[in-house]
Amino acid sequence: MRLEIVLLVLGMTLVTYIPRALPAVFLDKIRLSPRLERFLNLIPYTAMAALIFPGVLTVDTAQPLIGILGGVTALVLAWRKCPLMVCVLAAIGVDFILYLFI
């Protein structure tokens, strides 16, 4: 039974790793149009917006301003092309500070 679990984990690892590794290997050899390259560069910011926006509105129903200010912080930093992790951590920090003082 343990061998089956190990094989299952290895199989899931391959299934997860291959779709992520193949584009990295072959994308260096393919020339992308500037428009497509710009589109691909904007995907992390779009994903961040899709993940954060529902939480902005529901972070605290009693004090919705906290979530809105955290979201605005992330939006401004993303607009200034800050790294994704900086945007997320700054929004969390603003929300934390607001929770302490409001």
pLDDT tens for each residue of 48-82? 778 878 888 888 888 889 989 998 998 899 899 99
In 3D space, the residue among 57, 85, 84 whose CA is nearest the CA of residue 70 turns out to be 57
Residue 84 has pLDDT above 90, yes or no: no
If one counts every other C-beta atom within 10 angstroms of the C-beta of residue 9, the result is: 10
Same domain, 11 and 57: no
Same domain, 10 and 49: no
R_g of the chain computed on alpha carbons: 20
Tell me which residue has tokens 């500070």. Answer: 97
In 3D space, the residue among 78, 80, 3 whose CA is nearest the CA of residue 43 turns out to be 78
Q: Residue 18 belongs to what domain range?
A: 1-30
Same domain, 45 and 15: no
